[in-house]
Amino acid sequence: MAKLVPENNPVLHIIADEITSEEFTNGTVKKIISDLRQAIKTYKVDGFTAVAIAAPQIGVGKRIFMIEDQSDEADRLPTIIAINPRFLKMSKKTHLVGEGCLSIPDRYGLVRRSTNVTIEATDENGKTFTRGAGGLLAQIMQHEYDHLDGILFTDRAEKVWIKKDGENIEITEDNNI
């Protein structure tokens, strides 16, 4: 069973490799997607479910992420599988948004993200698609894309809090948490 790797795993800190055409035909892509689905379904912390995951988070250094909202909400996010994604557009307009991560469950922070993006990627069937997004979906795409480049949200965060003993403690250069 695929599991989330710990924050210190080297694959979370390197640029992931492109998926090759051979990996579509030899079953590698299907296996990675299956493993991502397995891992995302197991995540539940403090009553929150996962909405997205990238291959490096399960120890696979490949450029693939999946958005698959695990909530029971009626307005769930659309399922998107993005293989070898790249941003075609990123708005100059940004906003500061709260983020957490499956790979760092004890922290959350404030990250500056573009309000709108457009990606081009390949789907699980090998077809290229273009998808625009705003708000939360744009934020998630940027977060997951960062994983493919070895960047964690804490690397970009303007403020970070750690959950410790039921309290939220802001991390600064002064504290040794």
Specify if 2 maps to a domain.
no
pTM of the predicted protein model: 0.91
Specify if 1 maps to a domain.
no
- Supply the pLDDT for residue 2: 85
Below-50 pLDDT ranges, the chain: 174-177
Specify if 89 maps to a domain.
yes
Catalytic residues: 144
Type and span of the H or E element at 64: strand 64-67
CATH code where residue 22 lies: 3.90.45.10
Specify if 51 maps to a domain.
yes
- Supply the pLDDT for residue 175: 46
The Cα 54–Cα 32 span in angstroms is 10
The Cα 148–Cα 51 span in angstroms is 17
- Supply the pLDDT for residue 176: 44
Closest alpha carbon to 67 in 15, 9, 142, 151: 142
Please list, in sequence order, all residues whose beta carbon lies within 8 angstroms of the beta carbon of residue 162, skipping any fewer than 6 positions away.
106, 107, 168, 169, 171, 177
Specify if 176 maps to a domain.
no
* pLDDT tens digits, one per residue of 124-161: 999 999 999 999 999 999 999 999 999 999 999 999 99
The Cα 38–Cα 4 span in angstroms is 10
- Supply the pLDDT for residue 165: 67
- Supply the pLDDT for residue 172: 58
CB neighbourhood size of 127 (10 A): 9
The Cα 177–Cα 100 span in angstroms is 17
Type and span of the H or E element at 170: strand 167-171
Domain span at 153: 10-171
Specify if 126 maps to a domain.
yes
